[in-house]
Amino acid sequence: MTYTTKEILCPCDGHTVWGMAYIPETGEKKVPLVIYSHGLGSDHTTGIPYAERIAQAGYAVYVFDFYGGTVGDANRSGGRMTQMSVLTQKRDLEAVLHAAKKWDFADPERIALMGASQGGAVSTLAACDHQDAIAGLVLLFPAYSAPDDAHAMCPTLESVPETYPIFGGEMTLGKKYAEDIWNLDFFSLIKGYKGKVHLQHGDMDPIVNVSYSFRANETFPDCELHIFKGAGHGFRETEYFGESVHYVLEYLNEVFSG
């Protein structure tokens, strides 16, 4: 199925979230929508391979840049990484979700959130607070390890410096990031999520240990977990991508037809 792309801007707390919609040419006025959230330090382009395949299957997809969420100058939403946290990103995603309800091509009753790594953690936070607004939740190696990672870095929140490097200096975060993640308990939150969840993780992930997804699978009331043996942190441009998309589409077909 063919699709078109459309640039869409969403206002949020004094800044603008930039994104691109992939809209299938189905002949229908409104189609189901997937909102894809990228991981820490990356940008919307990481979601494009999924957006292309999902749009070809007949569902619209919106990929966007989190404000301050990207290493380097590629981010089209602006901001600095030292200004960003999982909670600022949650507000960005909530702004997108609110705007999407009014898009002329999107069915407001059939919207799913999809996130990779930190984008998965942020999508979880938004989904738990807006359960009635979404039809589904797709999580790719969600970064539920973030609070533990912050605690391992510094013994107390007071000892966290104003800025600090992670991943060997590849990224620099601000204290706000640690402050907002410090007391988050993802596993307490997801106990109350009532919808069906689709979860994927590689068992050789060096960044977010697969044990976090095993625990999430046991904690969500309704969850399907797919483990990719030998896969690391991400499935794009690997032999696992086709299988990952296959499972995502199976899940979307189910939740969007319900």
- Give the integer Cα–Cα distance in Å for 221 and 171: 35
Domain count, the chain: 1
Q: Which residues contact 46 (CB under 8 A, 6 or more apart)?
A: 38, 39, 116, 234, 236
Of residues 7, 9, 39, 11, the one with CA closest to residue 23: 7
What is the extent of the structural domain holding 63? 3-257
From its phi and psi, is residue 125 left (phi > 0), alpha (psi between -120 and 50) or beta?
alpha
The per-residue pLDDT for range 113-148, each reduced to its tens digit, is 999 999 999 999 999 999 999 999 999 999 999 999
pLDDT of residue 247: 98
pLDDT of residue 73: 79
The per-residue pLDDT for range 200-214, each reduced to its tens digit, is 999 999 999 999 999
Ranges under pLDDT 70 in the chain: 258
Distances (CA, A) of 103 to 30, 62, 109, 186, 220: 9, 11, 12, 31, 30
Distances (CA, A) of 17 to 31, 144, 182, 212, 224: 22, 24, 25, 30, 31
pLDDT of residue 145: 97
- Indicate the pTM of the whole model: 0.97
Output the domain CATH number for residue 103.
Answer: 3.40.50.1820
Collapsing DSSP to helix, strand or coil, 84 comes out as coil
- Give the integer Cα–Cα distance in Å for 156 and 252: 42
pLDDT of residue 11: 95
pLDDT of residue 198: 98
